[in-house]
Structure 1
Amino acid sequence: MTEARAVGTKGVPREERESQIVRAGTEEFGKNGYAGASMVEIARRVGVTKPLLYQYFGSKDGLYLACLHRAGDRLTEGVAETMAEEGEPPERMPLAVLAAIFETFDNDRYAWKLLRDPTVPSTGEIAGVAVDYRYRLDGFALVGAAQLMHSRGLDDDRDIEAIAQVWTGVVDSLISWWIDQPDQDAAAMTERCSRIMRNLFGW
């Protein structure tokens, strides 16, 4: 006998309803930040009651953490897999990483904003999780910057951290711009960035 699935509101399986809430929460938190996000608006987007959000996630913090983990895990796993692939020359790795980010967030662009949300609490579990994801992403940037410099025969490591910070800022700016360009899908953004890199750096 097949095990029955837990059913939530209006006959929707609980797992599916939670997924709907997390997607709606990601957009609301991404647009307005932790501080400005409205649980009422999230409930309205999903078509459920505000008490149901608290029943499923316990609190606003609980829902934010669920959204943050979903965004952070998808991004860090995608970047890690891309950087671990063999055969990609170091000078092409920045574009490959960008392509992975665009593909990850193509239909979920506001998820990126949760990873750089300046309105989250400065202490507590959310702060700790956010810092951990940022630390991991900054680590990828440092590795990429070092590989790129060394591939060009530049052995002075004093500028690697600065280059990594510049790269992080570029990625953030590109995705912030992309959010306001609904006609630009992941493939279009990858092609745009390829063209920019080719024209600016000859890559």
Structure 2
Amino acid sequence: MAGGAKARRLPRAVRERQMLDAAVRSFARHGYQTASMDEIAELAGVSKPLVYLYLNSKEELFTACIRREAEALLAAVAAGVEGGELPPDERLWAGLLAFFTYAAEHPDSWVVLSRQARTQGEPFATEASRMREEIAAYVAGLIGEAAREARGAATITERDVTALAQALVGSAESLATWANETPGVTAKEAAATLMNFAWAGLGNLMKSERWSPR
């Protein structure tokens, strides 16, 4: 009885965080369809009716998980880039490192965002796409800054910048999943791999050196 009273005195925000933490863990391990509300309640240390009282349904719970984890990832990338006057390549590197570090340190979150949210249809796919577009826009801004500072940047169009950002984000997502599933691969190593691959190509574009098929 005392334990139940103590649990009820927890602030709502704290209790919801516990439920979302448990839900992310369960959805990452079992997938949306198989994840059990009973297990989520047990992991959170609450009753199943309380989960429904706070978050209404399994669909709304999954949506809340996607939104929270997406916001945390975006905040981590922004925090990695901001704070200090760095040249464009260093800012891009900081953003990539923050991205891969977050994915590595929050593997359940990354599985929910990169795999589960995109394979369960709507409204979940839209939430995942919104996160991806925000990151792509952020990366496009960094590439655009680099282009404006570089010699020969006049040859790089806004369409080029957008396409490059989409390609870079797609590569980062695939590489983060591979790195998390491959023993011994660190976030820094994954970020450096993509940075070397991307910046070498960007460097050629900045010098108006484009590859074309023969």
Partner of 1:3: none
Instruction: Report matched runs for 1:74-113 at 5 Å.
Output: 74-113=72-111
Q: Contact conserved, 2:92 with 2:139, CA < 8 A, in 1? A: no
Match for residue 8 of structure 1?
A: 7
Structure-2 residue corresponding to 1:122:
122
Aligned to 1:177: 178
The structure in which a higher percent of residues are helix is 2
Task: Identify unmatched segments of 5+ residues in structure 2.
Answer: 204-214
C-alpha separation in 2, matches of 1:113 and 1:40: 21
Counterpart selection for 1:37 from 31, 35, 39? 35
Change (3 A) 1:131 1:172: closer
2:59 paired residue among 47, 58, 61: 61
Q: How many Å apart are 1:198 and its aligned residue?
A: 5.1
Deviations 1:46-99 (A, max 9, x none): 344433321221111221232122212222223233334332221122320122
- Cα distance between partner residues in 1 of 2:39 and 2:10: 20
Please identify, of 16-25 and 166-175, the stretch whose mean Cα deviation from structure 2 is larger: 16-25
Which residue number corresponds to residue 16 of structure 2? 18
**Map of 1:141-156 to 2, 5 A cutoff?**
141-153=139-151, 154-155=153-154, 156=156
Q: Distance in 2 between matches of 1:93 and 1:61?
A: 37
TM-score, structure 2 length as denominator?
0.69
Q: Distance in 2 between matches of 1:146 and 1:59?
A: 42
Amino acid at match of 2:179: W
The verdict on how the C-alpha distance between 1:118 and 1:201 changes in structure 2, with shifts beyond 3 A counting, is closer
Q: Distance in 2 between matches of 1:65 and 1:200?
A: 33
Q: What is the CA–CA distance in structure 1 between the aligned matches of 2:120 and 2:148, rounded to whole Å?
A: 37
Query: What TM-score do you get using the length of structure 1 for normalisation?
Result: 0.72
- SS of the residue 2:106 aligns to: coil
Aligned residue pairs total: 192
More moved, 52-61 vs 33-42: 33-42
The structure having more radius of gyration, on CA atoms, is 2
**Greater than 6 Å deviation, 4+ residue runs:** none
Is the contact made by 1:7 and 1:14 (CA closer than 8 Å) also made in structure 2? no
2: CA distance, partners of 1:29 / 1:196: 29
Name the structure 2 match of 1:166.
Answer: 167
* 8 Å CA contact retained: 1:110, 1:179: no
CA RMSD between the two structures: 3.3
Q: Quote the residue 2:50 is aligned against.
A: 52
Deviation of 1:118 after TM superposition, in Å, equals 1.5
Letter in structure 1 aligned against 2:119: T
